[in-house]
Amino acid sequence: MELKKLLQDLPVKAQGALEGINICDLCSDSSQVTRGALFAAMRGREKNGEDFAFEAQERGAAAVLSERVIAGIKTPQIITGDVRSAYARVCAKFYGEPSKKLKTVGVT
């Protein structure tokens, strides 16, 4: 899916050109990044995903989603104030908005 389409309506800033970039996978674990994936560099309790952006780049990430510009990364970067929220919205778009197809029933 085209990266610009995934980011449509999201409050993000781009570092690098995004035209013509197609995303074929989404990943928040740098060890599982495949060529053409969007890597979400999220802060965790013990580790910061931004520390693994170079590994994601080496594995072929097409772009990195983070909360700040990561110096030295040649891969296009998408900067947002809240990576977790932006990643959730990107995942929903990438997988065809599956929650919109669910029917919810409440029993009391």
CB 91 within 8 A of CB 84: no
Which helix (H) or strand (E) covers residue 14, if one does?
A: strand 12-15
How many residues can be counted in the chain?
108
The answer on pLDDT for 88 being more than 90 is: yes
Q: What is the DSSP letter of 105?
A: -
Among 14-18, 30-34, 82-86, the minimum mean pLDDT is found in 14-18
Mean pLDDT, the chain, rounded, equals 94
The answer to whether 79 and 63 are in contact (CB under 8 A) is: no
**Taking 90 as the threshold, does the pLDDT of residue 18 lie above it?**
no
Whether the Cβ atoms of residue 86 and residue 63 lie closer than 8 Å to each other:
no
Q: What percent of the chain has pLDDT over 70?
A: 100
Tell me the per-residue pLDDT of 92-101, one tens digit each, with 9 for 90 and over.
999 999 988 9
